Amino acid sequence: MSWSQVCYEYDGSFEGFLTCVFESYAHHEEPMCFQGPEALYYTLWDARRVDTDQEKAARVFRSLDARLGRGASRLVYRAFLTCLEERELHIYRFLQYGYRRGRSVMGELGHPLVCVLNKAVHHLEHEAHLYTGFVRFSDYRGVLLGEIEPKNQVLPLVRAHFIQRYNTERFLLYDRTHGQALVYRPGQWVITAVDQLQLPQAEKEELRYRSLWRRFFHTLAIEDRRNTRCQNTHLSKRFRGLMTEFQREEQGERLP
């Protein structure tokens, strides 16, 4: 039986993507592209809207470890969080190949379909690791607020780190790039969609601590041993816009 070629339109969620995988096999359809809610391009293939079905998504997810081997579900989930261009299509083709090959596919590290996902996931995990050290929180009336601009969706990976570190605090970590926020209060957390975040005016005590941190940062440096190239290697400039020590002082922030 020949498979018809389609473009799936879905809600952009991981569960929505897994539902598309289920529908593909159930209806013998070959997805040529996947379009989320923010897709900005047209396609020559017939488009079909796929509504997220949690039960269908769960069936596909359970099949990963059972048929592809240990670690398959982790690889697929993390690959979905990456900024890999057309990541859904790469993951789908990996699944097609994996379901044919069986559990041996996870050991085929040199195969292009496996290699591209592993490389993308490595980039995701490396970026998440960097953000565990590069995030700067500010105190707004007892709530810690921080902002990041990652290339990948790192919030699910950094969640455990920050909850463990600030387990008695209330905090919000906002991902500007993907419009998401990790919200935590003791005993409860959620990663939720946030269109935009308008921070309130910082209080004098917060401004004072920012100034102290900048003074510490600049005082600690040894001018004669400054190595700009090394600093750029270990701390890319794209991270600095939201780091306190690289921002300009605000009005009323200077120490007496």
Q: How does residue 254 score in pLDDT terms, banded at 50, 70 and 90?
A: low
Are 85 and 111 contacting, i.e. CB atoms less than 8 angstroms apart? no
Q: How high is the mean pLDDT of the chain?
A: 91
Kindly state the tokens that stand for 215. Answer: 């003074």
Arithmetic mean of pLDDT, 50-76: 95
The pLDDT tens digits of the residues spanning 115-156 come to 999 999 999 999 999 999 999 999 999 999 999 999 999 999
Listed in order, strand segments (DSSP E) in 10-132 are 29-35, 46-49
Q: How many Å apart are CA 106 and CA 119, to the nearest integer?
A: 14
* pLDDT tens digits for range 19-48: 999 999 999 999 999 998 877 667 788 889
pLDDT, greater one: 47 or 95: 95
pLDDT band at 98 (very low <50, low <70, confident <90, very high): very high
Can you read off the two tokens belonging to residue 224?
């004669």
Structure confidence at residue 222 (pLDDT) = 78
pLDDT of 109 over the 60 cut? yes
The residue ranking higher by pLDDT, 197 or 105, is 105
Given the DSSP bridges, would you call strands 4-9 and 188-193 parallel, antiparallel or unpaired? unpaired
Q: Taking residues 177-201, what's their average pLDDT?
A: 92
Full-model pTM: 0.89
Cα 75 to Cα 43: distance, rounded to the nearest angstrom: 28
In the chain, where the domains are located: 4-125, 135-200, 202-256
